[in-house]
Amino acid sequence: MASSVSMAVPEVVPYDFGRHLTRHDFPTGFLFGGATSAYQVEGAYNVGGRGMTNWDAWSLMKPGKVLDGGNGCRAIDHYHNIKEDVKLMKDMGIETYRFSISWTRILPGGQLSTGVNKEGVKFYNDMIDLLIEAGIEPVATIFHFDTPRSLQDEYKGFLDRRIVHDFGNYAEVCFREFGDRVKFWVTVNEPSTYTVLGYVNGTFPPGHGSPPSELGLRFVNYRNVRGIDPTLYGGNAATEPYIVAHHLILCHAKAVDIYRKKFQAVQGGKIGIVVVPNSWYFPYSEKKEDKEAAVRAVEFLLGWFVQPLVSGEYPDSMQTRVKERLPKFTEKERMKVKGSYDYIGLNYYTTIYAAYKKKQPGDPTNYYTDQEVEFHTSKNGIPIGPQAGSDWLYIVPRGIYELLTYAKRQYNDPIIYITENGVDEKNKQQLGPDKTESEGKKDKVLPISLLLKDDYRIKYHQQHLAYVKRAIDKDKVNVKGYAVWSIFDNYEWAAGYTVRFGMYFVDYLNGLTRYPKKSVFWYMNFLNKKKLPGPRDREMMEVEEVEEEEKAGKRKQNRTKSTQELWEIFAINDVLSSKLKLHDDPKRVRVQLKMKIEAENKTPKPRMSSCMIKVASTLVYVNMRAPTCQHSPLKQECGGRGVDQIFM
Active-site annotation holder among 42, 95, 172, 190: 190
**Residue-level length of the chain:** 648
Exposed/middle/buried for residue 480 (C-beta within 10 Å: 0-12, 13-18, 19+): middle
**Catalytic residue status for 333:** no
**Catalytic residue status for 420:** yes
Asked if residues 92 and 524 have their Cβ atoms less than 8 Å apart, the reply is yes
**What count of Cα atoms within 13 Å lies in the side-chain half-sphere of residue 175?**
27
The string over 353-388, giving b where at least 16 C-beta atoms fall within 10 Å of a residue's C-beta and e elsewhere, is bbbbbeeeeeeebbbbbbbbbbbbbeeeeeebbeeb
Active-site annotation holder among 137, 240, 420, 425: 420
User: Over the Cα atoms of the chain, what is R_g?
Assistant: 25
Q: What is the DSSP string of 129-164?
A: HHHHHTT-EEEEEEESS--BHHHHHHH-GGGSTHHH
Which sign does the torsion angle of CA 528, 531, 532, 538 carry? Answer: negative
Q: What is the DSSP string of 170-226?
A: HHHHHHHHHTTT--EEEEEE-HHHHHHHHHTS--STT--S--HHHHT-SS--TT--T
| Virtual torsion, Cα 572, 576, 580, 586, nearest 10 deg | -30
Distance CA 256, CA 264 (A): 9
Asked if residues 223 and 493 have their Cβ atoms less than 8 Å apart, the reply is yes
Q: What is the DSSP string of 394-462?
A: B--THHHHHHHHHHHHHTTS--EEEEEE---EE--SEEEEETT-TTS-EEEE--GGGG---HHHHHHHH
Give the SS3 label for residue 318: helix
Distance CA 141, CA 247 (A): 17
Residue type, 173: V
CB atoms within 10 A of CB 316: 13
**Going by C-beta distance under 8 Å and a sequence separation of 6 or more, which residues neighbour residue 620?**
586, 589, 593, 642, 643, 644
Distance CA 417, CA 396 (A): 19
Distance CA 84, CA 500 (A): 20
Distance CA 75, CA 70 (A): 9
Angstrom distances, CA of residue 242 to CA of 54, 263, 338, 360 = 20, 31, 18, 22
Distance CA 44, CA 77 (A): 7
DSSP 8-state class, residue 358: P
Enumerate the active-site residues. 190, 420
